[in-house]
Structure 1
Amino acid sequence: MSKIHAIVIDPAVRGRLKVGEVEASRPASSEALVRVHAISLNLGEVRTATRANAGWRPGWDLSGVVEQPAADGSGPSAGTRVFGMVHSGSWAELVAVPTNFLSEIPDNVTYAQAATLPVAGLTALFALEKGGFLLNRKVLVTGASGGVGNFTCQLAKQAGAIVTGLVRREERAGCLLRIGVHNVVVGEDVVAARSFGPYDVIVDTLGGKSLHMVSSFLEEGGSCINVGSATEPEMTLQDRLQSVPGGVLVLNGMPPGGVSKDLGRLARMVADGLLHPPIDLEAPWTEIAEVTQSLLKRSIAGKAVLSVS
């Protein structure tokens, strides 16, 4: 079997990540082989990499070109520009991707832009769909300068919501104002966001004490949707479910039936200028160790994208 290059766990190197040689993917009949051009990083997979065993291959998001279409005839043909996601191992030159987790890239969308959409864009989209009808409703987004938070703010605004974004640092406020967020609250203390409420929908990316606090800002009958625990990574799913009096909706994982249509929705919004991927850093994938450390230190706002070559 042929060899390819991929990012793998190596506890002996700085940052525990390196580009190494691995066996090429062997696709199932419903998988297309994609020659990867760009990948984007997510905090969850980076945190997993800090404790994973040697040889494990991380990575969810990718964009590239179909090199070999799925044998069952599903999905795009060879040569099609595509983007999508896998359970793990997307940080590689060649990846087998289930066709129901793959979508075409519009002509005027770049590989880098497309690579940001699968995990962060879909998380934002599905969270807001749980919140229901948003026209003229008040929406609060915590961790609003992160990839998921930024996409959530943009999508909520597109749906006609009155959006308040909560960020920790003053320098992060500008990116939210540029995308038209109505109110930006800066600081470690989430209580300051109460003044723009009560909220019909809260999308929380932080977890922990922040989740418990912001849930008290809800309008009667409102929805609080938690999509992560950025500030307290040790917080379990059960902890998050039980942390809010009256309960909280927790978005955990992607639909098993596939996400192609939803990916297409996001890509068309980017193509039409309605959604702007918040790319804060672009670098070659050989800089994976440095970039992941920056992400863990929360020094990257929005998304980090690495080119694969």
Structure 2
Amino acid sequence: MKAVTVSKTGPETHLVLAEHTEPGAAPGEAIVAVRAFSLNNGEVRAALHEGVDGDRPGWDLSGVVESAPKGSGFQPGDRVVGLVWGGGWAERVAVPTSRLAKIPDGVSFEAASTLPVAGLTAAIALQKKAIGKGSRVLVTAATGGVGVYAVQLAAAAGAHVTAFVRAAANTEFLRNLGAEEIAVGLEAAEKGGPYDLILEGVGGTLLGEALMWLAPRGVCVLFGDASQDTLTTFDARRFRLQSGGAYGGTVLYGFFLIDELTRPEGAADGSAILADLARRLSEGSLRPVIGRTAQWTRIDKTARELLKREFSGKAVLTVGG
């Protein structure tokens, strides 16, 4: 069986297809024949910059069930989307049924493969503060995988959505996704506040500024660090006492998807959320944004293009053929 593998030859690191043993299913796991998978910035960066020779990356996948536990609700032949914590970019993968969902007819494998990390992160992060009509939500990294889904899901919940961007080129694109305001730069983003909920995926300087744009009892969910700037400074008094002209209750929430789905108590139901997201795709109320589609033999080239931000949205690779 072939799988995407980290290959280190001297100082160079590449992603290649290599032969591996077939997966075995542990209790509670289904074997899925993979048809497509999508790339996430964090896993690609880790694989190319920190990967060990022989590592097998890959989180998001879609495909067809080959075998499944009795009573799991899955059967051979089911079209599914799933999430694993590594090794998902392969011809066959063992996937816990707790992170597996059926794909409705009419939803392509390519579209479904964009859902696990980006869709689950957006959906669960939006649950950290009750939002609805009249709520103000800010989404940073709005043209990334998580941002694209966060804008759509927040708008569908009735919130007034502001999308933060560095340049105005993506204004029409984000408005079509449901953003009511496009904030180009820090000054515009601050004027659009105060915000009840901020989904922040950049970190560094932007995070420090965003913490001071929260409404009373507002929540900032930090789900990523696209800037790779490890230093954040902020005005602690404004965050604690002067948010929105009132006082207190503001929260910075550090979001980590693995913890959200596996914590001993209060874990999110990954399978149910994936199923809901797939249903929304089928109904047309949610749409993926795929910036690059290629055969998986082009994994190394596509991964590098993703890191260089040569396209917006997700990169999807198809297996076989």
Instruction: State the TM-score, normalizing by the size of structure 1.
Output: 0.92
Separation in structure 1 between the aligned mates of residue 168 and residue 292 of structure 2, nearest angstrom? 19
Whether the aligned pair in 2 keeps the contact of 1:124 and 1:149 (CA below 8 Å) is yes
- Pair 1:12–1:57, CA change in 2 (3 A): same
> Is the Cα contact below 8 Å between 2:34 and 2:319 reproduced in 1?
yes
- Equivalent residue number for residue 269 of structure 1: 280
The verdict on how the C-alpha distance between 1:268 and 1:57 changes in structure 2, with shifts beyond 3 A counting, is same
Question: CA separation of 1:110/1:240 partners in 2, compared to 1, >3 Å: closer, same or farther?
Answer: farther
Q: 1:10 pairs with 7, 10, 22, which one?
A: 7
Query: 1:118-151: per-residue Cα shift (whole Å, max 9, x none)?
Result: 1000100011110213222111101100010110
Question: Which residue of the other structure, out of 255, 259, 273, is the alignment partner of 2:261?
Answer: 255
> How far apart are residue 169 of structure 1 and its match?
3.3
Contact 2:62 2:80 in 1 (8 A): yes
| 1:48 counterpart residue number | 46
The answer (yes or no) to whether the contact 1:15–1:293 under 8 Å persists in 2 is: no
Equivalent of 2:137 in 118, 127, 139: 139
**1:290–1:30 CA distance, 2 compared to 1 (3 A):** same
Q: State the partner residue of 1:171.
A: 169
Q: CA deviation at 1:233?
A: 6.2
Tell me which amino acid in the other structure corresponds to 1:116.
T
Equivalent residue for 1:231?
A: 227
Give the alignment partner of residue 20 of structure 2, picking from 19, 22, 29: 22
Q: CA deviation at 1:300?
A: 2.5
Tell me the secondary structure at the aligned position of residue 145 of structure 1. Answer: coil
CA distance in 2, matches of 1:21, 1:116: 25
Which among 80, 104, 107 is matched to residue 105 of structure 2? 107
Which of 33, 36, 39 is matched with 1:38 structurally? 36
Root mean square deviation of aligned Cα = 2.1
Q: 1:197 maps to which residue?
A: 193
SS of 2:85's partner is coil
For 2:2 and 2:271, the matched residues in 1 are separated by 27
Instruction: Return the offset for 1:69.
Output: 1.5
Give distance in 1, aligned partners of 2:129 and 2:292. Answer: 31
The structural deviation recorded for 1:153 is 0.3
Is residue 227–residue 251 contact of structure 1 (8 Å, CA) maintained in 2?
yes
Distance 2:255 2:16 in 1: 31
Would the alpha carbon gap of residues 52 and 248 (structure 1) be closer, same or farther in structure 2, given more than 3 Å must change? same
Q: Is the 8 A contact 1:102 1:263 kept in 2?
A: yes
Aligned to 1:120, the other structure's residue is in SS state helix
TM-score (norm 2): 0.88
Report if aligned partners of 2:63, 2:81 keep a CA contact under 8 Å in 1.
yes
The whole-number CA distance in structure 1 between the counterparts of 2:111 and 2:142 is 19
Shift in Å, 1:241:
12
Mapped to 2, the partners of 1:279 and 1:181 lie a distance apart of 18
- SS in structure 1 opposite 2:174? helix
Tell me by how many angstroms 1:299 deviates.
2.3
Give 1:286's aligned residue. Answer: 297
Q: CA deviation at 1:196?
A: 1.5
Aligned-residue offset at 1:245: 4.5
Tell me the secondary structure at the aligned position of residue 202 of structure 1: strand
Whether the 8 Å CA contact 1:75–1:102 is kept in 2: the answer is no
Give the superposition deviation at 1:297. 1.3
- For structure 2, the 5+ residue unaligned runs are 241-250
Question: Retained in 2: the 8 A contact 1:266–1:275?
Answer: yes
What amino acid does structure 1 have at the position aligned with 2:9?
A
Which residue of 2 is the match for residue 130 of structure 1? 128
**Does the 8 Å contact 2:135/2:160 carry over to 1?**
yes
- In structure 2, how many angstroms separate the alpha carbons of the residues matched to 1:98 and 1:17? 25
Separation in 1, partners of 2:283, 2:196: 28
Residue range with higher mean Cα deviation, 273-282 or 128-137: 128-137
Checking the alignment, whether the CA contact within 8 Å between 1:8 and 1:58 is kept in structure 2 is yes
- Which residue identity lines up with residue 224 of structure 1 in the other structure? C
Count of aligned pairs: 300
Structure 1 stretches lacking a partner, 5+ long: none
Task: Report the identity percentage.
Answer: 41
**3-state SS of 2:211 partner:** helix
Please name the residue that 1:94 is paired with. Answer: 92
Work out whether residues 203 and 230 of structure 2, in 8 Å CA contact, stay in contact via their aligned partners in 1. Answer: no
User: Once the two structures are superposed, what CA deviation does each residue of 1:14-64 show, in whole Å capped at 9, x if it has no partner?
Assistant: 651001111111110211000000000011111110211000000000000
